[in-house]
Amino acid sequence: MRPVAEHAAVVAALLGPTGTESVALADARGRVLAADLTSPVALPPFANSAMDGYAVRAADLVGTPVTLPVVEDVPAGRVDGPPLAPGTVHRIMTGAPLPEGADAVVQVEWTDGGLPGATVTIERAVGSGQSVRTAGDDVVAGQVVLTAGTVLGAAQIGLAAAVGAPELSVHRRPRVLVLSTGSELVAPGEPLRHGQIHESNGPMLAAAVDDAGGVSRLLRFVPDDVGEFLTTLDAALAEPTDLVVTSGGVSAGAYEVVKDAFSRRGIEFTKVAMQPGMPQGAGRYRADGATGDPGADVAVVTLPGNPVSSLVSFEVFVRPALRRAAGHPEPDRPRVRARVSEDLHSPAGRRQFRRGRLDAVTGTVAPVGGAGSHLLAALAQADCLLVVPAEVTEVAAGSDVEVWLLDTP
Amino acid sequence: MRPVAEHAAVVAALLGPTGTESVALADARGRVLAADLTSPVALPPFANSAMDGYAVRAADLVGTPVTLPVVEDVPAGRVDGPPLAPGTVHRIMTGAPLPEGADAVVQVEWTDGGLPGATVTIERAVGSGQSVRTAGDDVVAGQVVLTAGTVLGAAQIGLAAAVGAPELSVHRRPRVLVLSTGSELVAPGEPLRHGQIHESNGPMLAAAVDDAGGVSRLLRFVPDDVGEFLTTLDAALAEPTDLVVTSGGVSAGAYEVVKDAFSRRGIEFTKVAMQPGMPQGAGRYRADGATGDPGADVAVVTLPGNPVSSLVSFEVFVRPALRRAAGHPEPDRPRVRARVSEDLHSPAGRRQFRRGRLDAVTGTVAPVGGAGSHLLAALAQADCLLVVPAEVTEVAAGSDVEVWLLDTP
């Protein structure tokens, strides 16, 4: 059986970098910056007042209280820059440019609040530079303010706006077509006959794709007939697609449409040394008559059909590959070690992924549900995966295990 | 000055629960479930095979190898349920319903793979129940599978689909109008004159709203004239809005449009004992002639204009209020304690929020940038806030401080 790390490398190699695109700041949240952002301006661009008060020459305030004429009114946004003559002050507001000739600001609370055209009495002397933000205090012109690979949140978007960038170069999101197959599947909301189940892998994997930073497109109930399967797939691939993710149809059974359709068309099917998720496939498929790009082939990853196997395999193989392709600096889930609360049993030679809940305060992790790959309710309660190495078959309660932290939004 | 906790309670009280709405599974990612989800069905709904192989009566396998006739072929999705007669087997695929009369499955690897209509030779005996998933093993009918307040990710969406729910009742996202004012502001991409800066709070706060689970709408460059400000605002409020967030225009200066427009119109302006972010305002505003709902008033929170003050205030007051209103089980950022890497100085009587980077491995946190509220570049490097309590003015390097973890996507 193929080691987990080897199959992960095969999947990762299928997906090259997605390329870059320019997005407006309003659309940049959550995207990954593709190039260093250099500021063409200093921040602040000019010396300005940190307070509402009076722009002064500090030397004029010797022997306070002093009373001085208030010559000009300088609100934020005043652009004509009236200079300050010795022995006078200008009223100034927070963020307004410090007048030429001034070297400090006295906050209004230390004055009698005199108006422009009259005088102000100042109670306290200030040192040169007091309540002044110097130009370039935050950022100097030419400085790299955000490096390639930065994930853009509110603060980063604010900074980009502040340095004057109306749009940003980001990595393009991988476009992922999620296929579900299986003649036992019925849409949620439809009644079940004996032998049928509701299709759940499609919406689950589409959400997982979006959560990983991809753009999912979902094609449900693709026919189980190989010819019809390929026709449906080829038609869907007329739309540009970076990756096809299927679930089901890959085990040892007699009716395995994914395996039958892809096995002589570029996809390698293999057993991976893990539990759950042993039957895996990956490769590149060239659609017949695809109109998206006739010369192109598309990456395909086939996941097993049991919901838990499917989502765990996605976590192990697909999510990191998608994030790496999209330039994400940390493709993997955060990993920690924690003490497991009960004994674990794992098959020899297979890396086991159990669903768990981590108590970060005590550093303990409890498995939820059993090892069964059909236990979806337990998966929905989990906030982490517990990892038992392939060579380990028994883990005693209280031992340290590796834990992968899933999202806890 | 008003304590931080008191102002936080005032802001939280402004925003009631947003109500609920029904969304399709495809739109449910990241939403908060508004009602317990009860499964009308068992999972699995019927006993089924965990393997590809042969459905058998375990009692028929005494004295293996045994050769038995393969009567029927039961793929997944076969709904007519052919029963199993003693002394015979059916070929069966993973997920297919276990035939009446069968009590175990022999996996194909332990057989010669005989076809339906012929015979199969089985090498190993199995116990009753082997490779069978019993009905209700995962979920019993009537079980609450997801509780109200659950944040919906891939696994939860998969489970909802599996129990047959095509849509889910979720909390409605708060609709937030973000306003920016200030005559010194210029759009990113436009050239700056001396005294002007690029507007950054609007896109920053809009991203912060969306990140908190709200739906932002951005109105930039609202006029500084009180009459025009109110006219613009009232027109915007024709669209249903749960909260208006402004930045700037609230300090002690002479030209403070937000304060001037709102101070006799339901909004209370106050000084909060914090650094940065002292000037705050909150209340309910009734738009004149708003067409959205003529009898309704709208919650308003006014944030200070310095970008760092603005985003820190948003984190402290607005984000938790938005998440609470949207039913989020954990409105606050995760909080931990860490050793600070350098001395901190904080003004007496004000809770200080410094920007920092946490090293989770060593449990140390380093401040980034100074305390200045204009240091946006440092804010964009931060992954946490350090909190110095109001009564503390000096924190020695190596001391424990409270740390709020910001997103590290």
- CATH code of residue B290: 3.40.980.10
DSSP state of B114: P
- Quote the crossing angle between the two packed helices A154-162 and B201-211, to the nearest 10°: 170
What pLDDT, on the 0 to 100 scale, is given for residue A293? 56
Question: What is the CATH classification number for the domain harbouring B349?
Answer: 2.40.340.10
B399 lies in a domain? yes
**Whether pLDDT at A255 is above 90:** no
A196 and A264 housed in the same domain: yes
Structural tokens at position B131: 């490779």
What pLDDT, on the 0 to 100 scale, is given for residue A249? 84
What pLDDT, on the 0 to 100 scale, is given for residue A409? 47
What distance in Å separates residue A197's CA from the closest CA in chain B? Answer: 7
Q: What is the mean pLDDT of residues A218-231?
A: 89
Tally the residues of chain A: 409
What lies within 8 Å, CB to CB, of B14 at 6+ separation is: B243, B282, B283, B284, B299, B300, B301, B321
What pLDDT, on the 0 to 100 scale, is given for residue B252? 67
What pLDDT, on the 0 to 100 scale, is given for residue A59? 96
Last residue of a domain, one of A306, A325, A344: A325
Record: contact A52-B95, CB cut-off 8 A: no
For B409, the closest of A41, A153, A379 (CB atoms) is: A153
A374: confidence class by pLDDT, cuts 50, 70, 90: confident
Average pLDDT, chain A: 93
**Whether pLDDT at A166 is above 50:** yes
Q: Decide if A41 touches B, using CB distance below 8 A.
A: yes
**pLDDT, tens digit, 9 for 90 and up, residues A112-147:** 999 999 999 999 999 999 999 999 999 999 999 999
A66: confidence class by pLDDT, cuts 50, 70, 90: very high
What pLDDT, on the 0 to 100 scale, is given for residue B164? 96
B27 and B164 housed in the same domain: yes
Last residue of a domain, one of A133, A157, A192: A133
A330 lies in a domain? no
A248 and A280 housed in the same domain: yes
B183 and B309 housed in the same domain: yes
**Torsion over CA of B131, B137, B139 and B143, rounded to 10 degrees?**
170
For A161, the closest of B25, B29, B198 (CB atoms) is: B198
B63 lies in a domain? yes
What pLDDT, on the 0 to 100 scale, is given for residue B251? 73
A260 and A122 housed in the same domain: no
Residue in B closest to A144 by C-alpha: B377
E strand intervals along A230-341: 243-247, 267-271, 274-275, 279-285, 298-303, 335-340
DSSP state of A99: P
B206 lies in a domain? yes
A316 and A246 housed in the same domain: yes
B69 lies in a domain? yes
B122 and B157 housed in the same domain: no
Candidates B29, B94, B105, B256: best to mutate against A (most CBs of A within 10 A) is B94
A152 lies in a domain? yes
* pLDDT by 10-residue block (mean), chain B, 409 residues: 97 95 97 97 95 95 94 92 95 94 96 96 96 95 97 97 97 96 90 94 97 95 88 92 93 80 93 95 80 70 94 98 95 95 96 95 92 87 96 97 84
Rg (CA), chain A: 31
Which A residues in the span 147-176 are in contact with B, Cβ-Cβ below 8 Å? 151-166
B81 and B155 housed in the same domain: no
A101 lies in a domain? yes
What pLDDT, on the 0 to 100 scale, is given for residue A371? 79
Candidates A32, A198, A373: best to mutate against B (most CBs of B within 10 A) is A198
- Quote the crossing angle between the two packed helices A201-211 and B154-162, to the nearest 10°: 170
B276 and B152 housed in the same domain: no
Enclosing domain of residue B253: 4-18+172-325
B207 and B247 housed in the same domain: yes
B96 and B149 housed in the same domain: no
B158 and B243 housed in the same domain: no
Question: What is the CATH classification number for the domain harbouring B31?
Answer: 3.90.105.10
In the block, tokens 């600070």 appear at B340
B330 lies in a domain? no
ipTM surpassing 0.85:
yes
**Distance (Å, rounded) from C-alpha B375 to C-alpha B314?**
16
What pLDDT, on the 0 to 100 scale, is given for residue A396? 97
The domain total for chain B is 4
Last residue of a domain, one of A278, A294, A325: A325
